[in-house]
Amino acid sequence: MKFIGKNKECFEVVDITNDNCEILKASKENELSLIWFLSDNNRLTIDSKAYTFNTNDIVCSTEFHHIEIEHINSLKLLRFNKPFYCVLDHDSEVGCKGILYYGSYNLPMFKVPEQDIETLEAVWKVLYMELQSSDSLQLEMLQMMLKRILILCTRIYKSQLNFEVLDTNADIIREFNFLVETHFKEKHSVVDYASLLNKAPKTLSNLFKKLGNKTPLQFIQDRLLLEAHRLLKYSDKSVSEIGYELGFNDVQSFSRFFKNQEGVSPNDFKHSS
């Protein structure tokens, strides 16, 4: 079911099986998706990496994720565009910027705990009811239900990322994540982002250490590597063009970076199966 508003707002909720799973690949510009798996052994390849998703796994994706379908049993897809609800403009409402969307080099995915399944099912049921409505409050009601889902999922994912150990500093990590997503092509050093955040580089390193996560530099490099993978596999651009697009001064610098991270040259990676 789909809602189309007067100002190009688009919101849809779809039950998907292997018969209609091509819908997963149809994301348009400025669209965000949330995929809730209802069964075991759903297999997708996302950005050249194979995943198996089981019952009550959730994954969040954007228009930039390249999804290839291996096998789907059953899932629910929620998809919305920026005119319907912009998570950047309304970050204070749901707090998912830099967590579910716009800020993770890893694919944001998590399992819904048993105690939250009933809540998620109830909100989803209301969504179906509202999509069949046609009164003047339909848009506001759908937005309200979407926010409820995003808040719940953000809480679950933050808990699984162990964000509680950061206390009041969690927003610094979220903002760092978002800034890397915004500037990774031109800013490659921790100092660059520390300056944008008005923090010392050591402060960022200590916060990442609390999470037991990778260092800030590794985070930046992983985001660069992800984009390199996408461009090498899914575009016709040359290795030299990709290197310059990612902010490297010359193709040799890009090739050294890629080989140090992957163990193969970008050219070999591009032409591998």
- Domain co-membership, 140 together with 6: yes
Both 156 and 195 in one domain: the answer is no
Query: In this structure, are 195 and 254 located in the same domain?
Result: yes
Residues 33 and 62 placed together within one structural domain of the fold: yes
CATH code of residue 72: 2.60.120.280
Q: Give the length of the chain.
A: 273
Distance CA 260, CA 252 (A): 12
- Listed residues 104, 129, 161: the one ending a domain: 161
Where does residue 180 rank: exposed (0-12), middle (13-18), buried (19+ CB within 10 A)? buried
Domain boundary among 140, 161, 182: 161
Helices assigned H by DSSP within the chain = 91-94, 114-131, 138-160, 170-183, 190-197, 201-211, 216-234, 239-245, 251-262, 266-270
Clarify whether residues 232 and 262 are in a common domain.
yes
What is the number of domains present in the chain?
2
Considering the domain architecture, whether residues 172 and 157 belong to the same structural domain is answered as no
Specify whether the CB–CB gap between 88 and 72 falls below 8 A: no
Residues 139 and 156 in one domain: yes
Residue 118 sits in the same domain as residue 142: yes
Judgement on whether residues 261 and 136 belong to the same structural domain of the protein: no
Q: How are beta strands 42-46 and 67-71 bridged, if at all?
A: antiparallel
pLDDT attached to residue 48: 86
Q: Does 20 share its domain with 105? A: yes
Residue 10 pLDDT = 95
Weakly modelled stretches of the chain, pLDDT under 50: none
Q: What is the CATH number of the domain that holds 260?
A: 1.10.10.60
Which domain covers residue 243, as residue numbers? 166-270
Boundary of a domain, candidates 103, 134, 161: 161
Distances (CA, A) of 266 to 75, 113, 231, 242, 249: 35, 40, 10, 10, 16
pTM above 0.75, yes or no: yes
Residues 154 and 191 grouped into a single domain: no
- If asked whether residues 227 and 252 sit together in one domain, one would say yes
DSSP letter for each residue of 165-185: GGGGGHHHHHHHHHHHHHHTT
**pLDDT tens profile 58-103:** 999 998 899 999 999 999 999 999 999 999 998 888 989 999 999 8
Element housing 75 (H / E)? strand 74-81
